[in-house]
Chain A
Amino acid sequence: MELIDYPTLKLLWWLLVGVLLVGFAVMDGHDMGVGTLLPFVGRSDIERRVIINTVGPHWDGNQVWFITGGGAIFAAWPLVYATAFSGFYWAMLLVLWALFFRPVGFDYRSKIDNPRWRSTWDWGLFIGGFVPPVVFGIAFGNLLQGVPFRFDANLVSHYEGSFWQLLNPFGLLCGVVSSAMITCHGAVYLAHRTEGVIQARAARAAQACALVTLAAFSVAGLWLARGIDGYVITSALDAAALPDPLAKTVAVVPGAWLANYARTPAAMLVPVAGYLGFVLALLLVRGGRTFAAFWCSALGMAGVIGTAAVSMFPFVMPSSLDPAASLTVWDSVSSHRTLFIMLVATVIFMPIIILYTRWAYSVMRGKVTAAYVKENSHSAY
Chain B
Amino acid sequence: MVQFLVGPEWFYGVDTIFEVFSIIVCFLIAIFAYKTYNLTNQRKYFYFMLSFLLIAASLTFKIIANFVVFYKTVEKSFYGLFIVTYTHSFDFINTVALFLFRFLFLIAFIIILANILNIKDKKIISLLLFFSFLAVIFSTFAYFEFHLTLALIVGFISHYYFKNYSIKKRKSAFLVMMSFMAIFLSQIMFILFILDKGFYALAETLQLIGFLFLLLAYLVILKK
Indicate whether A and B interact: no
Q: Which residues of B contact A (CB under 8 A)?
A: none
